[in-house]
Amino acid sequence: MTSHPTTVRLRADLIHRQIRSGGQKIWVVKDPLVRSYFHFTDQEHAMLMLADGRRSFKQLSADAASLFLPLHLSPQQVLQFFAGASHNGLVATRNTSTPSLAKRSRRWSNPLAIRLPGIDPTQGLAKLDFVSRLLFSVPAMTVIATLVIAAVLTVITRWSSFASDVATAASRLDNWIILALVIGTTKITHELAHAMACQKLGARCSEIGVMFLVGVPCLYCDVSDAWMLDRPWKRILVSAAGMIAELSIAAVATVAWVAANDGPLRDICVTVMVVCSVSTLLFNGNPLMKYDGYYILSDVIGMPNLASRARTAFQRRFTNTIWGAPSNSGSGSIHDPAHYEIGLIGFAIASGIYRTLVYSVIAMTFYQWAKLHGFADTVFAVGLAAGSFAVGRRIYHLLTQPKHARSPHGRSQIRVGTATGIAAALTVIAVTFPLPRSVTAVSITEPQSAKSIVVSAPGQIRHAVLSGATVRPNDIVASLIDDDADRERIAIATHRDQLESELAGLQNRRGVDAGASAAIPMTRKSLDQTNKQLSLIDRELDRRTLRSDVNGVAFPPERITESQTPDWQPRGWKGTPLDVSNRGAQLDEGTQVCVIGDAVRRDAIVYLSQNDVELVRIGQQAILRVADRPRGSVTGHITEIATSPANEIPASLIQSGRIQQSSVDSQPQPYYQARIRIDHQPITLPVRMIAAAQIKVDSASFWTRLNRWASDAF
């Protein structure tokens, strides 16, 4: 290898500071242009300072090697070190007039966490200096720790009540609004606590602004200047300040929860308790994602840039194993001892698995939401493309031969082939392994054994049972009248009475009057015809008397908000036919008067799209997401599936926005009904309640789902 003629020069505007980390002193170099921070050991920092722009690469390698004696430092390692420094914009080469700022603004680098430009909060935080000193003083921290411990003991001793309240609060219809307000308020407090702690301990919060975390707007603050603090405990306190603030709020909410009665206030308290304790510890306190817990762990073990060093260790070990590339000391990093390698690789694998799970859950949640709103295909296509690109890019980097690796030989080629085969096999297993699957659709409840009472002949309401009335077979549910039919019956009945009188007179005179005897057959025939007419009209009138043929309770149909009768008819109506205010209103043929069904037990009629109904089978389990009920407590199973589309969709489902009246080729999108027999409920479910139904259908692999999506989309 020939010596490299290019010289390198360290930027003069960089800020250098020595801090303690992991029981030893290290150097932090701050790039003030992009507010990035880099960590170096004493030897690495001394090697960086050798870049004065006058030394040739050969001189630089020799001087750098002397810094690491008795360890051997190869020219290749020196070249890699300064190549990394150049990539990070710390040094400039002779051929460049300005440093390579490859690490520019990272506001848009992560689509799940997009930061908008913020403001400098220095003046505002200065006004809160007294509050900062008070809250982060030793007495205040002691009080907070005492409150948190007391809150934990309170929850443990009242665990059954706490678990029940959590389940109830999580299922309330308006809980989304409460949850959004709670999360927004606590996250603002969380970020302000970071900023105040950073300012109080001597560092600077450089920016506060708004970010979109998985599409949800929230506050962020840039306290990366805490890396310039000299003591680990100070940096740990800055990282933990947000969680301390949330735990304090959770402790206060616990006190309020104990004192509050059942109701909205108790729901808010228990929501705050969960969000500010469990969720903040699981997410912010988890070191596998680059949040508070990650930086705390990094300072505790004295290993800055833990994630990047772990990824580097994993990739270097992988490529060394596959390609037989020469291994540098330990994990391949100048400052990582060999005994750190196993821990770094383990951390890289664990964080990779955890991130994959988190992204998968987010993607599935968004997909289910998109499915209810009619654009699931688009979300699936975008997610598939993004996931395939990310996985393919990672596999490509792992299997690409590094530039410093030896030329491939037989054994190396076998390793590459084996690795490729294993990757292909794992990919095949991943895409063909059956995974649980469910179908989510909107449903509306009705009484079990429901019998609909429908008007068979038009008329005006004379009588109707009240909503909730108990009826038995043959009981009159409603009776209608028709003035024209009544007048016609009176006329026919009068004519019948006249014929009967005439027939009686003829029969009395037939012995003395030959004409009377001859008129009797004709009169009797007319009377028979009149009786038949009267019988027909009586049957017609009887159709206006609506009777129940089952035992049950009368439930009203959907409420009508606008009059359902034309202006020319006697009287319009709205509400339901059972309402007392609608007595005398005109009901047309086919109008539903009520539903007779079980007083306690309920069914749910679920409306499935044409794609989903193909997956549903009789006997499959279903879960209804019902407000005021713990998630998973309202269960049932499929008992019936319609073979043809529903003729009519309930207006309440369309008005709620749960079913979109979209059209395909000028034809309304078909929906198929399926009946869910709901299991016994301690508290009776209301009739005509709208709820999302999740049906557990047969498991399917990713490949099967992809084929089905492609066939439906194309």
DSSP codes, 448-472: TT-EEEE-SS-EEEEEEPPTT-EE-
Predicted TM-score (pTM) of the model is 0.68
581 pLDDT more than 80: yes
Do 128 and 268 have their domain in common?
yes
**Residue 519 exposure: Cα atoms within 13 Å on the Cβ side:** 15
Is there a domain that residue 337 lies in?
Answer: no
Q: What is the C-alpha separation between 444 and 608, in angstroms, rounded?
A: 12
Overall average pLDDT of the 63-91 stretch: 83
Q: Which token pair is 452?
A: 């609909």
Q: Which token pair is 474?
A: 């043959």
Q: What is the C-alpha separation between 397 and 541, in angstroms, rounded?
A: 84
Per the prediction, the chain carries an average pLDDT of 82
Q: Average the pLDDT over each of 149-158, 177-186, 351-360 and give the range with the smallest value.
A: 177-186
DSSP strand pairing (451-454 vs 476-481): unpaired
If one counts the domains in the chain, the total is: 5
Helices (H), 36-74: 42-49, 57-67
Rg, the chain, Cα only: 40
Overall average pLDDT of the 39-61 stretch: 86
* pLDDT value for 101: 44
117 pLDDT more than 90: no
Do 310 and 295 have their domain in common?
no
Query: Are 692 and 625 contacting, i.e. CB atoms less than 8 angstroms apart?
Result: yes
| Confidence class for position 426, pLDDT limits 50, 70, 90 | confident
Is there a domain that residue 437 lies in?
Answer: no
Tokens 């705390």 belong to residue: 296
- pLDDT tens, position by position, 295-350: 999 888 888 888 888 888 888 787 777 766 554 443 344 545 556 788 888 999 99
* pLDDT value for 601: 94
Domain CATH number, residue 608 = 2.40.30.170
Q: Average the pLDDT over each of 51-60, 135-144, 669-678 and give the range with the smallest value.
A: 51-60
* pLDDT value for 257: 92
Residue type, 705: R
* pLDDT value for 597: 94
Is there a domain that residue 81 lies in?
Answer: yes
User: How many Å separate Cα 431 from the centre of its chain?
Assistant: 23
Do 289 and 173 have their domain in common?
yes
Give percent of the chain above pLDDT 70: 85
Overall average pLDDT of the 572-577 stretch: 84
| Confidence class for position 666, pLDDT limits 50, 70, 90 | very low
Query: Are 523 and 499 contacting, i.e. CB atoms less than 8 angstroms apart?
Result: yes
Is there a domain that residue 198 lies in?
Answer: yes
* pLDDT value for 164: 81
Is there a domain that residue 438 lies in?
Answer: no
Do 145 and 257 have their domain in common?
yes
Domain that holds residue 612: 596-660+669-713
Do 276 and 291 have their domain in common?
yes
Do 287 and 392 have their domain in common?
no
User: How many Å separate Cα 337 from the centre of its chain?
Assistant: 43
Q: Which token pair is 87?
A: 């990539």
Do 33 and 136 have their domain in common?
no
